[in-house]
Amino acid sequence: MKLAKPHLDLGLFTADLAPQLAFWGETAGLRFDHALELRPGWVQHRHDAHGSVIKVNHYTDPLPALPPSGYAMLSIVREGPVWEGRHPGGDRVRLVPRGTDGLVGIGITVETPEPARMMDFYLRAMEFDEAGPHAARCGDTLLFVEKGRGGALTPSFIAPNFRYLTVQIFDADRACADIVARGGRLAQAPVSFGSVARYGFVADPDGNWIEISARTSLTGIAPPPER
């Protein structure tokens, strides 16, 4: 997979914005970049984590009570002592020195009842690089695959807490089609978001959502208008 950015992003949803902004800005020490209104009642607050974006999506309508995703923990490189805890929504977060578990930026732990199947998906369908028997690498982001309850097939990625990864590529339509051809599942066909990005979603074997995005600011190519 040809990456437009050598980092994965991670998105979460919340209906209670203030505690989340305080956590990511103060406790995690991430730099707030900007807020992006995706539609009325949905604003994405973007925080930089070594080139990855932690997307805090504030949703004013009640969030659907869907099963948790399999994205179980976020690890972020930070100078200073190790810190382990949870963000205000309850997902696990740890702050660790550079080099911990091979990290140089962020790492995302994915729980699944079938680790071998999940690793096969990331290495074969997503074309990530193998970084160990239970880890895959996309750019400089590590994915740690652990045995656990895992995620579930859901009708939407909009629900509380960690919900989706974002891979930045150059051609969302082609990348989604290629992932499906290699055994992935299309969760949402690509669409254009104004001049900002062309994006679609695929799902991993447990149903976790993965955004496949061609963002104009990274590719230099404006998406086609929606018909």
Q: Tokens 């990348």 belong to which residue? A: 175
Classify burial at 163, counting beta carbons within 10 Å of its beta carbon; exposed 0-12, middle 13-18, buried 19 or more.
buried
What is the reported pTM?
0.96
pLDDT score at 227: 62
Give a three-class secondary structure readout of the chain.
Answer: CCECCCCCEEEEEECCHHHHHHHHHHHCCCEEEEEEEEECCEEEEEEEECCEEEEEEEECCCCCCCCCCCEEEEEEECCCCCEEEECCCCCEEEEECCCHHHCCCEEEEEEECCHHHHHHHHHHHCCCEECCCCEEEECCEEEEEEECCCCCCCCCCCCCEEEEEEEEECCHHHHHHHHHHCCCEEEEEEEEECCCEEEEEEECCCCCEEEEEEEHHHHCCCCCCCC
Residue 223's pLDDT is 87
Spell out the per-residue pLDDT of the chain, length 227, in tens.
899 999 999 999 999 999 999 999 999 999 999 999 999 999 999 999 999 999 999 999 999 999 999 999 999 999 999 999 999 999 999 999 999 999 999 999 999 999 999 999 999 999 999 999 999 999 999 999 999 999 999 999 999 999 999 999 999 999 999 999 999 999 999 999 999 999 999 999 999 999 999 999 999 988 887 76
Specify the pLDDT at position 55: 98
> How many Å apart are CA 72 and CA 61, to the nearest integer?
24
